């Protein structure tokens, strides 16, 4: 029997494609009368291009990328909306064994603390003879690039002068590190774990330490398709939310790792995927470390498309010279993320949702129940340097960063 809705989704072989994989493999899409076809790609540029020509209806995509496309920074590109996030966290900054040894001698702590590792890296750079250190990220308009730059800048390192940042596909990162082409990289899992296990690399810090409760991948949707197929989109959001609950259940982690390990998906051993799902990470040598909230598929409103997240990414595009700051540009970024569609699609599931569409990033220092029922808990959130981002004062935030 043919499903009512046929949806084609692009994805990259990363752990945070888990919601799409679980939606298909565990039947959550079928429950919404959706035939979900998943197509693996190698690069984010290809994901963007295939969305533009309607080969894909939706995609697992970098959280800032739909904003960049709507701002005209990336062409060819469709107009995109983001009605759902694919979870929080999941990234790490991984460095060569040699660089980590130098950082450790300068005070970097083995607990992946962003402050001590950043300050140690600054000292290594200050004392270094020869060319600048080289770091890899997956795309210019990626959370990886912006969180790496934020971490470096807040540690007293100029990302444009003191280091070189280049673009590499995630599967190539660890081999480039071994070959000496780069000294470190910021990527999603499992590519940090594989770098540690197979390439003698060392994790230096993680996204969950740089910006707590921060988004990484989102569901990017061709807005023309969304306008034409609102019922299909709503069903997909419900399927993905149900998948997020399944993925968050610790009792399902081994099965999820096995699903993701299939050749059609991440195509890496399940044992290399399980650490990020459990938060018990191999960080280097023979050491493992339990990282709280390393990857969060469902808790803390992990699937909610916060407008404050979109606006923070926009401020970083301005900060690093990707786009001039104007009222019109800010509005485009704000309008890309669509919590209104999320709310309307999921209300039949009685999901506890935030009442607001934005929040002050960094205001919640501890886990905090929100809403009249207290059924939803948010936080801790915010940045390792104690900074706050108030989406009601984008002008002031951009000005304060320009002075750093």
186-234, pLDDT tens digit by residue?
999 999 999 999 999 999 999 999 999 999 999 999 999 999 999 999 9
130-171, pLDDT tens digit by residue?
889 999 999 999 999 999 999 999 999 999 999 999 999 888
Q: Is the pLDDT of residue 366 over 60?
A: yes
Split at pLDDT 50, 70, 90, the class of 74 is confident
Q: Is the pTM of this model over 0.75?
A: yes
Start-end of H helices in 249-338: 253-260, 270-278, 307-319, 327-336
301-354, pLDDT tens digit by residue?
999 999 999 999 999 999 999 999 999 999 999 999 999 999 999 999 999 999
Split at pLDDT 50, 70, 90, the class of 18 is very high
310 CB-near residues (< 8 Å, 6+ apart): 67, 82, 333, 334, 336, 337
**Pairing outcome for strands 91-95 and 202-206:** antiparallel
Arithmetic mean of pLDDT over the chain: 95
pLDDT at 234: 98
Split at pLDDT 50, 70, 90, the class of 78 is confident
Q: Is the pLDDT of residue 372 over 80?
A: no
Closest Cα to residue 137, out of 82, 74, 198, 183?
A: 183
Q: Is the pLDDT of residue 173 over 90?
A: yes
First vs last C-alpha separation in the chain:
60
pLDDT at 107: 96
CATH number of this structure's domain 91-212: 3.40.190.10
Split at pLDDT 50, 70, 90, the class of 129 is confident
pLDDT at 3: 81
Q: Which two tokens stand for residue 97?
A: 């064994």
- Cα–Cα distance, 260 to 161 (Å, whole number): 39
pLDDT at 77: 79
Contact 238, 347 (CB under 8 A): no
Q: Decide yes or no: CATH 3.40.190.10 for domain 5-88+214-270+296-319.
A: yes
User: Looking at the chain, which residues constitute the CATH 3.40.190.10 domain(s)?
Assistant: 5-88+214-270+296-319, 91-212
Contact 300, 213 (CB under 8 A): yes
Q: Is the pLDDT of residue 371 over 90?
A: no
- Cα–Cα distance, 188 to 66 (Å, whole number): 18
Split at pLDDT 50, 70, 90, the class of 16 is very high
């Amino acid at each position: 029997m043919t499903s009512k809705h046929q949806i084609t989704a692009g994805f990259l072989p990363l752990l945070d494609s888990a919601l799409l994989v679980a939606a298909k493999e565990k039947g959550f899409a079928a429950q919404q009368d959706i035939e979900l076809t998943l197509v693996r790609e190698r690069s984010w540029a290809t994901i963007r291009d295939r969305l533009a020509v309607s080969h894909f209806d939706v995609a697992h995509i970098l959280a800032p990328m739909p904003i960049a496309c709507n701002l005209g920074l990336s062409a060819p590109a469709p107009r995109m909306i983001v009605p759902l996030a694919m979870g929080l966290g999941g990234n790490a900054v991984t460095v060569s064994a040699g660089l980590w040894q130098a950082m450790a001698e300068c005070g970097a702590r083995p607990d992946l603390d962003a402050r001590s590792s950043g300050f140690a890296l600054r000292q290594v750079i200050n004392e270094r003879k020869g060319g600048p250190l080289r770091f890899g990220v997956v795309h210019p308009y990626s959370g990886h690039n912006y969180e790496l730059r934020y971490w470096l800048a807040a540690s007293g390192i100029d990302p444009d002068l003191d280091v070189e940042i280049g673009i590499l596909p995630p599967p190539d990162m660890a081999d480039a590190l071994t070959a000496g082409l780069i000294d470190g990289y910021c990527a999603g899992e499992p590519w940090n774990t594989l770098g540690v296990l197979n390439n003698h690399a060392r994790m230096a810090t993680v996204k969950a330490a740089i910006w707590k409760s921060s988004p990484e991948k989102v569901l990017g949707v061709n807005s023309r398709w969304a306008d034409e197929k609102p019922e299909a989109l709503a069903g997909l959001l419900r399927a993905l939310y149900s998948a997020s609950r399944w993925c968050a259940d610790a009792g399902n982690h081994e099965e999820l790792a096995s699903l993701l390990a299939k050749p059609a998906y991440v195509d890496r051993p399940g044992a290399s995927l399980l650490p990020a799902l459990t938060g018990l990470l191999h960080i280097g040598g023979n050491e493992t470390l339990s990282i709280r909230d390393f990857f969060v598929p469902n808790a803390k409103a992990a699937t909610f498309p916060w407008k404050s997240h979109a606006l923070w990414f926009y401020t970083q595009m301005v900060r690093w010279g990707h786009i001039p700051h104007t009222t019109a540009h800010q509005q485009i970024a704000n309008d890309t993320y669509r919590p209104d569609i999320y709310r309307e699609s999921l209300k039949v599931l009685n999901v506890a949702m935030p009442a607001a569409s934005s929040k002050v990033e960094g205001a919640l220092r501890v886990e905090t129940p929100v809403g009249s029922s207290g059924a939803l808990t948010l936080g801790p959130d915010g940045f390792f340097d104690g900074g706050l981002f108030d989406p009601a004062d984008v002008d002031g935030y951009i000005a304060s960063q320009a002075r750093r």
